[in-house]
Structure 1
Amino acid sequence: MGCGNSSEGNGDDTDKGFFHRRPKVSIRIHGNDIPDLKSTSKHAPVVFVFGGPGSRKGRVVDDLVHMYGFKPLIVEDMIMRELPKKVQNVMAVQNTKALAQMLVDNPSVLDLEWVIDMIATELQLEPKTMHLIDLVPNLKFLLRCENFLQEPDYHLKRFCEKFPDCFALNLSIPEQKAVKEVQAHGAKHPDKMKEGGQSDEADSTRTQRRHAIYAQSVKGSLNFFKERNRLVVVDVSCGIGDLIWHRVSDFFGQDLELVPDKTVNTVIVFAFDDHAFQDLDLSRYHMEHLKLASLVDKKDAPLEKLITALCHKIDTSAPLAESFVVDCTETTLSRCPVGETKRQIKFFESENTYLDKFIFISNEKKDRSRKNSLYPVTFKAVASTENEVCLFSSDTNTDLCHKIADLMSKERDLTRSTHVMATS
C-alpha cells in the first residue's frame, strides 16, 4: 500500500548501506479498441479479469471495486449458486462434493452459453454500473467440464455484440515464477517434510498442475480479446501486491482517465508537533505532506470537520497518492477530547511497528526490523476493516488513535455510499 510510482528509478539507489530498487510492473495493450470508460453509452464498461495462481487477482479486483466503483461478478459463485437448480432433485446437490459428482455424471449441464446468459442478465439489471467479470473458477472440477471455457469465440462474440464496451485485463505470471514463489515460502530443503507429512516438492507439483489447468482454460478467451484488440496484459512476475495494484490503478486512473471514488490502501501518519517525523524522507516513501489547518476555513474547527476535510483531500488525491503525513499543528485535533468510540477496528499495534511494514520499499533483506528499516521509529498503528492504516507516534493516547481512525473510516464509508446513490 502507498507504493507510489511503479516504474524503476534511474539507476541503483543506495541508502544506509541497503539497496532500494522497485521491481518493474510493465503493461502491454494489444490493440486500440479499449472502450472509453468515461463514455455515456447504453451500457457501462465491462472488464473481464483473468489471473492464475499467484497473480494477486483477488487483491486487484477488491481494490478496483472500492476505488473505482466496479461491481464484481464472480462466475464461480454464480455457478455454485445456480447450477443445482438445473437438476430435478435440488436437495440432492447440497454441497461441493455432490456438485462435483453431478458434473462427473453429466458434464454437459455446465456450458459457457448458460454462464454468459447469467452474466448478461446481471448486467441488464444495472446497465449504468461498471462491472468486473471473474470468469475463471478456482475449482478444478468446474474447469474440467468440456463445454465450459473451451472454444469460447461464438459465445463471447455474442456477448460483445450485446455489450460492446468490454475488454479483458490479464494479470500474467509465468508458470516458473508461480512455482518459485511456492518454493520460496516453503522449507529450505526440498526433502524437509512440513506439518502433516507433506513436502514442498508436492506443493510445487500441485502449483504446476493448477497453472497448467488454468492456462489451458483461459487460452481461448485471451486469444479472443487479443484478436479483437481488446486485451490489456499486466506483468505481475514481481509478485508484490502493492506494486501490481498501483500499476493497474495507474492504467485505469491515468491511461483510461477513470475518476476514482476514493483512495484505497491508504497509510496516514499523524504528526502533532513541529518536530515530529522531521527526519522522515517523504520522497523515499512516496508520501504526500498535508497541512491540516490549510484544509479548513477555521483552524479551530471541531474534530469532525477536520476529519471530513482530510478525507476529502485524500480521496481527491487518488490515484497519484496513497500515503500521507498529516501535520495536525495549529488545529484542535491535537487537543480534542476523546469521546466514546465503537471499536470497529481490525487490529491495533502499540509498539515495534515500522513504516516499512505498511509501505513497500525494496530491500536486500526481507524482514522489517530496527536494523534495516529506512525510518527506524516505532508507531502505534490502527487499521480499518478496509486496510486503511493510521499511524501515530508511540506516545499518542491510544483512545485518541482509535477515535481518529474510527471517524475517518465512517467518513470515507459515507462518501462512498453517497457516490453509489448518486450514480445508481
Structure 2
Amino acid sequence: MGCGGSTEGRKDDKEDGKFTHRKPKVSIRIQPQVKVCKESPQIVFIFGGPGSKKGRIVDDLVLVYDFKLLVVEDVILRELPKKVARAIACDTTRDVADLLREEPSHLSLDWVLETIVTEIEKEPDGRFLIDIMPNLRFLLRCEKFVKDCEYELSMFENKYPIACALNLAIPEDKVIKNVQKQTAKHPSQMKEGGQSDEADTSRTAKRTSLYEMSVKTYMEYFNKTQRLVTVDVSCAIPDLIWQKVNSFFSDSLELTPKKTANTVILFGFDENAFLGLDLARYSMEMISLSSLVDDPKQSVESLLSALCKHVDNTKATAESFAVNAMGTSLSKCTVDQFKKKIIIFLEVTDTYLDQYIVITDTKKQVERTRKTSLFTRPFKAVCTTDNEICLFPMDTDTEVCKQIALCMINAREE
C-alpha cells in the first residue's frame, strides 16, 4: 500500500468542487454458519470481480487484521515452473502461458490447494486471506483448475476449515454503468488512433462474464454450507465498502485488529483550530496530545510516536481524530523542531473535511443522507502510507506538514 491510491474512495464523493447530497448504501448478507475456527489457522477466502475494489479491501484487511495474503495467481506463476521439468526455462508469464497452452493439465485445483496447504503450514498459527481466482485469462481456461470445486475444497477442509467466503458482489450491469460513468466524466480522453471508450466497456463486460462463470461453483459451495458473506459493492466507493467489511470482521467474526487503517487525523495548534467542528457528526475522537505523554515539551518525534500508539490501539472502527497540539512542543511554524531533516516528496493538496470523512447518524447508528457541512474550512492534506490522511490548517508550514507525516510513518516502522 502506498500513498498513490489512498484517496480514491474519498474523492469519489466529490464532483466539480461540490459535495454530493446522497450517500450510497452498502448492504451485507451474512449466512448463519459463518464463524472463525477457535483453533489456528484462521482462513477466509475472498472473491471480487472487475470494479469490486477488492484490491483496496484486501490491503486494508492485511494491514488491520494481520492476514497473510495468498494470491493464487502469484502462487501459480511462482510454483508451476518448479513443478514441471522442462529443458527450456520458464521465467516469465508468457513462458507459463505457453506451457499451459501446450498442456493445460499441468494446472489443477487439487495441486493449487496442496500448494496453499504448504504455505499455511509455514505459519500454522496465522490468519490467511486467500484470493483463489486469477485475473489472467489463460489460467481460467484450464479445465482442471476452473471446475466444480466441491470435492477439492472438502478435502482441503478436512485439514484446514474455512471460516467463510467474502464475496464483494456487483451486478454486471452496474459494472458497465460505472465504466460508462467514468468515461462520461472524461470524454476528452480518447485512445490512440481515435478509438472510443466503448472498447473499454466491451472488454469489462467480457471480463465480468468470464469471472462470474469461473467463480460460480465456489459461490455454490459456500452457499450450500451457509458460509457465504455477500457485500453489495455497487456504490464503488472504497471507504463505504471498507466500513461495512471492517465491522463484519470486528463485530461478527470478533477478530482483534492489529491497527487502524484509512484514518483521518486533523491537527490543530491553537484555540480556534476546531471552532465550529461537530465532533459527533464526523464521529471524531478529540485527542489532547499533551495528555498522551508525561512531558508535553519532549521531542516532537516522541509526541507523534505516542499519538500513533493511541490511534492504533483504538477500536478499528474509529477512524477519525482531531488532535489538539496546544501546550506541546509541536507547532505549525518551524521545521527546526524536528531532529531529522530529510528531503521528502510527499504530495500536499488543498481539501475539505467532508471530502475525507463518511458521515453517519451517531444517534441511530445508521447511514443517512449527507448534507454539506458548515465546517467547510479548507485544509492542507498529506497522504501517508497505510491510507492515512493528515489534515492541517492552511497557514501551517508545508514542510512541517510533511515532517509530521514522515514522523508518523517512521514511528510505525520502528
Superposition TM-score tier, normalisation by shorter sequence? 0.7 to 0.9
Which stretch shows the higher mean deviation, 147-156 or 278-287?
278-287
Distance 2:230 2:204 in 1: 22
Give the deviation of 1:387 after TM superposition.
Answer: 2.3
8 Å contact 1:2–1:323 — kept in the other structure? Answer: no
User: What are the ranges of 5 or more consecutive residues in structure 1 without an aligned counterpart?
Assistant: 4-16, 363-371, 415-424
Q: Give the secondary-structure state (helix, strand or coil) at the position aligned to 1:387.
A: coil
Distance 1:161 1:23 in 2: 41
Deviation string 1:238-269 (CA, Å, 9 cap, x unpaired) is 11000001110111112222111111111111
8 Å contact 1:31–1:226 — kept in the other structure? Answer: no
8 Å contact 1:190–1:201 — kept in the other structure? Answer: no
8 Å contact 1:343–1:406 — kept in the other structure? Answer: no
Is 1:247–2:265 an aligned residue pair?
A: no
8 Å contact 1:67–1:263 — kept in the other structure? Answer: yes
Aligned runs of 1:205-244 on 2, under 5 Å? 205-244=202-241
* Residue matched to 1:34: 35
8 Å contact 1:2–1:321 — kept in the other structure? Answer: no
Give the deviation of 1:193 after TM superposition.
Answer: 5.3
Aligned runs of 1:4-403 on 2, under 5 Å? 20-36=21-37, 39=38, 41=39, 43-89=40-86, 91-187=88-184, 194-334=191-331, 337-343=337-343, 347-349=346-348, 352-360=350-358, 375-403=375-403
Distance 2:196 2:31 in 1: 40
Give the deviation of 1:279 after TM superposition.
Answer: 2.1
Distance 1:403 1:238 in 2: 35
Distance 1:175 1:165 in 2: 27
Q: Give the secondary-structure state (helix, strand or coil) at the position aligned to 1:64.
A: helix
Distance 1:197 1:290 in 2: 54
Distance 1:193 1:60 in 2: 30
Identity rate, percent: 49
Give the deviation of 1:165 after TM superposition.
Answer: 4.5
Q: Give the secondary-structure state (helix, strand or coil) at the position aligned to 1:32.
A: coil
Q: Give the secondary-structure state (helix, strand or coil) at the position aligned to 2:331.
A: helix
Give the deviation of 1:20 after TM superposition.
Answer: 3.2
8 Å contact 2:97–2:138 — kept in the other structure? Answer: yes
* Residue matched to 1:420: none
Distance 1:145 1:266 in 2: 42
Deviation string 1:303-358 (CA, Å, 9 cap, x unpaired) is 2332222112211223221111101112222288233233465x221x53333443
* Residue matched to 1:365: none
Distance 1:222 1:393 in 2: 49
How many residues end up aligned between the 2 structures? 386
Give the deviation of 1:190 after TM superposition.
Answer: 9.6
Give the deviation of 1:296 after TM superposition.
Answer: 2.4
* Residue matched to 2:14: none
8 Å contact 1:289–1:325 — kept in the other structure? Answer: yes
TM-score (normalizing by structure 2): 0.86
Give the deviation of 1:286 after TM superposition.
Answer: 3.1
Distance 1:2 1:330 in 2: 31
Distance 2:72 2:157 in 1: 17
Residue 18 and residue 147 in structure 1: after superposition, are their counterparts in 2 closer, same or farther (change >3 A)?
closer
Q: Give the secondary-structure state (helix, strand or coil) at the position aligned to 1:46.
A: strand
Deviation string 1:356-379 (CA, Å, 9 cap, x unpaired) is 4433469xxxxxxxxx78643332
Residue 218 and residue 299 in structure 1: after superposition, are their counterparts in 2 closer, same or farther (change >3 A)?
same
Which stretch shows the higher mean deviation, 376-385 or 269-278?
376-385
Give the deviation of 1:187 after TM superposition.
Answer: 4.1
Distance 1:182 1:103 in 2: 32
Distance 1:35 1:90 in 2: 45
Residue 53 and residue 378 in structure 1: after superposition, are their counterparts in 2 closer, same or farther (change >3 A)?
same
Query: Pairwise CA RMSD of aligned residues?
Result: 2.7
TM-score (normalizing by structure 1): 0.84
8 Å contact 2:7–2:387 — kept in the other structure? Answer: no
Distance 1:194 1:281 in 2: 46
Which stretch shows the higher mean deviation, 72-81 or 325-334?
325-334
* Residue matched to 1:10: none
Q: Which amino acid aligns with 1:121?
A: T
Residue 392 and residue 108 in structure 1: after superposition, are their counterparts in 2 closer, same or farther (change >3 A)?
same
8 Å contact 1:51–1:57 — kept in the other structure? Answer: yes
Distance 2:148 2:358 in 1: 41
Distance 2:87 2:195 in 1: 37
Q: Give the secondary-structure state (helix, strand or coil) at the position aligned to 1:48.
A: strand
Q: Which amino acid aligns with 1:348?
A: E
Residue 196 and residue 353 in structure 1: after superposition, are their counterparts in 2 closer, same or farther (change >3 A)?
farther
8 Å contact 1:53–1:207 — kept in the other structure? Answer: yes
Distance 1:323 1:156 in 2: 40
Q: Give the secondary-structure state (helix, strand or coil) at the position aligned to 1:273.
A: coil
Which stretch shows the higher mean deviation, 302-311 or 75-84?
302-311
Which stretch shows the higher mean deviation, 258-267 or 65-74?
258-267
User: What are the ranges of 5 or more consecutive residues in structure 2 without an aligned counterpart?
Assistant: 1-5, 9-17, 361-371
Residue 310 and residue 193 in structure 1: after superposition, are their counterparts in 2 closer, same or farther (change >3 A)?
closer
Q: Give the secondary-structure state (helix, strand or coil) at the position aligned to 1:185.
A: helix
Q: Which amino acid aligns with 1:352?
A: D
Deviation string 1:368-405 (CA, Å, 9 cap, x unpaired) is xxxx7864333222222322221111221233222221
Q: Give the secondary-structure state (helix, strand or coil) at the position aligned to 1:49.
A: strand
Give the deviation of 1:297 after TM superposition.
Answer: 3.2
